[in-house]
Amino acid sequence: MIFLKVGPTAGAVATIIYAIPPMILMTTLGLQKVPLEVVEAGKMSGCTKSQMLRHVYIPPARTEILIGVN
């Protein structure tokens, strides 16, 4: 309130500050729940780090990530 006064901008900033931690928590939980067999198959296929994230980690963790975004 000191920097932005009272109004819609301060409300938006406060909402974002309070909404970010659950999003991060749900994303990390989803990424940790990816089965080890899937990760191992990605490593055996020779995926780079970005390919591992895009094609191996994110698809199985999509539901938890979307819950965090919601």
Q: Give pLDDT tens digits for 3-29.
A: 667 778 888 888 888 889 989 999 999
Has residue 32 been placed in a domain?
Answer: yes
Has residue 65 been placed in a domain?
Answer: yes
Q: What is the mean pLDDT of residues 39-48?
A: 94
Has residue 2 been placed in a domain?
Answer: no
**How many beta carbons lie within 10 A of that of residue 13, not counting itself?**
13
Rounded distance, CA 15 to CA 46, Å? 41
pLDDT digit string, tens, across residues 55-66: 999 999 999 989
Has residue 1 been placed in a domain?
Answer: no
**How many beta carbons lie within 10 A of that of residue 53, not counting itself?**
13
Q: What is the pLDDT of residue 4?
A: 64
Rounded distance, CA 18 to CA 54, Å? 27
Number of domains in the chain: 1
Phi, psi dihedrals of residue 45, rounded to the nearest 5°:
-75, -10
Domain membership of residue 57 as a residue range: 8-69
Which residue in this structure is represented by tokens 């990760």?
39
